[in-house]
Amino acid sequence: MSEAKRPIDVAVGILMRPNGDVLLGQRPEGKPYAGYWEFPGGKVEPDESILAALKREFVEELGVEIESAEEWCGVEHVYPHAHVRLHFFISRDWRGEPQSLEGQAFAWQGSVGVTPLLPATIPLLEWLDQLRYAGSGR
Ligand SMILES: Nc1nc2c([nH]c(=O)n2[C@@H]2O[C@H](COP(=O)(O)OP(=O)(O)OP(=O)(O)O)[C@@H](O)[C@H]2O)c(=O)[nH]1
């Protein structure tokens, strides 16, 4: 396989409030899929751990310090612009109120109602609902 075909690692974080609401952000102008909703995160840099990338992206994009996060699941997706390997983390433990440091919109959602969502992120919503229901003992 050539270098170009290797997937790009992306660290993605789901901030979850005690009531189960999760934070989504809207991709800013100038990026592929501008206007689509996603969970905040970004590409892992060379020689950076995935957790370090997650923490860095949250500080850069939202001014939020993630205190702890657990790795939840991984998803690979091939877009026309990139082949990505997404590493999703869930955090219930962070410091600071999210701020729109890159001019992006963001929204706390229970059952996620914002559209459109990045294609690779869509299946996550159902899994997330299952997790919430399991968590609340229903
Ligand atoms: N943050 C994030 N990225 C996602 C999600 N789902 C998904 O397919 N992606 C993909 O993962 C990649 C993330 O790259 P990015 O462009 O946001 O990363 P970045 O902020 O480091 O970009 P940069 O190159 O402009 O610095 C994109 O190809 C994006 O389409 C998601 O839920 N959250």
**What is the tally of helices (H) and strands (E) in the chain?**
2, 7
CATH 3.30.465.10 fits 3-135, yes or no: no
pLDDT of residue 131: 85
What is the predicted pLDDT for the residue at 2? 46
Query: Which of 39, 10, 12, 14 shows the shortest CA–CA distance to 25?
Result: 39
- Contact in structure between 5 and 84 (CB atoms under 8 Å): no
Q: Three-class SS of residue 123?
A: helix
What integer pLDDT is reported at residue 135 of this predicted model? Answer: 58
Strand 65-78 relative to strand 83-95: parallel, antiparallel, unpaired? Answer: antiparallel
Mean pLDDT, the chain cut into blocks of 10 residues (138 residues total): 74 96 95 96 98 98 98 96 97 97 94 95 93 65
Ligand 1 centroid–CA 10 distance in Å is 7
pLDDT at position 134: 73
7/105 Cα distance (integer angstroms): 28
> Ligand 1: which of 14, 43, 61, 127 to mutate, most ligand atoms within 8 Å of CB?
43
* Residue nearest atom 5 of ligand 1, based on CA coordinates: 38
Pocket flag, ligand 1, residue 31 (CB < 6 Å): yes
Q: Whose CA is nearest to atom 25 of ligand 1?
A: 31
Question: Residue 106: which of 62, 66, 71 has the closest Cα?
Answer: 62
Distance, CA of 97 to CA of 45 (rounded, Å): 25
Question: Which ligand 1 atom minimizes the distance to the CA of 36?
Answer: 30
Distance CA 135, CA 62 (A): 27
d(CA 135, ligand 1 centre) in Å: 28
Q: Please report the pLDDT score of residue 1 as a whole number.
A: 47
Residue 74 · residue 50 · CB < 8 Å: no
Neighbouring CB atoms inside 10 A of 28's CB total 14
Atom of ligand 1 nearest to the CA of 124: 32
CA of 81, closest atom in ligand 1: 28
Q: What is the pLDDT of residue 21?
A: 96
